[in-house]
Copies of this chain bind each other. A is one copy, B any other.
Amino acid sequence: MKEIIRGNIIDAPALGELRCLPGGCLVLEDGVIREVLETLPEGAELPVTDYGDCLILQSFADMHLHGPQYPLLGTCMDVPLLEWLNRYAFPTESRFADPDYAREVYAMLAAELVANGTTRVVMFSSLHTEGTWLLMEALERAGVTGYVGKVNMDRNGSPVLQETTEQSKRETLRWLEGCGRFSRIRPILTPRFTPSCTDELMAWLGELAGERGLYVQSHLSENTNELAWVSQLHPDCQRYWETYAKYGLWKDHTVMAHCVYSDGTERRAMRDANVLAVHCPDSNTNVCSGIAPVRRMLEEGVWVALGSDIAGGDHLPMLEVMSSAVRTSKVRYMTAGDAPLSAAEAYYLGTTAGHRYFGAGDGFAVGDRLHAVVVDDSTLGPKGEMELPLRLERAIYRAKREQITAVYSDGRKIKGR
Which residues in B have their C-beta under 8 angstroms from that of A394?
73-75
Given A74-B398, A393-B77, A396-B74, A327:B382 Cβ within 8 A: no
B290 with A334: CB separation less than 8 A: yes
A233 within 8 A of B: no
Residue count of chain A within 8 Å CB distance of chain B:
45
Which residue in B101, B282, B290, B398 is a CB contact (below 8 Å) of A73? B398
Asked if B288 and A334 make an inter-chain contact with CB atoms under 8 angstroms apart, the answer reads yes
User: What's the Cα separation between A390 and B78 when bound, in Å?
Assistant: 11
Chain A interface SS verdict (over half):
helix
The interface residues of chain B lying within 8 Å CB-to-CB of A282 are 327
Determine if A213 is an interface residue (Cβ-Cβ < 8 Å): no
Within the assembled complex, what's the spacing in Å between the Cα atoms of A394 and B335?
A: 30
Is the pair A314, B73 in contact by a Cβ cutoff of 8 Å? Answer: no
| Contact pick for A384, options B71, B78, B327, B396, CB 8 Å | B71
A76 proximity list for chain B (CB < 8 A): 390, 393
Contact with B along A60-78 (1 / 0, CB 8 A): 0000000000110111111
Report the bound CA distance from A330 to B282 in whole Å. Answer: 11
For the complex, is A342 an interface residue (Cβ under 8 Å from B)? yes
Residues of A92-131 at the interface with B, using a CB-CB cut-off of 8 Å, are 101, 104-105, 108
14 contacts between A and B (CB under 8 A): A70-B381, A71-B382, A71-B384, A73-B380, A73-B394, A74-B380, A74-B393, A76-B393, A77-B393, A104-B383, A288-B334, A290-B334, A314-B323, A335-B335
Beyond the given A73-B380, A77-B343, A314-B323, please list 15 additional residue pairs across the A-B interface where CB-CB is below 8 A: A73-B394, A73-B397, A73-B398, A74-B380, A74-B393, A75-B386, A76-B393, A104-B382, A108-B381, A286-B327, A286-B330, A288-B330, A288-B340, A314-B397, A331-B331
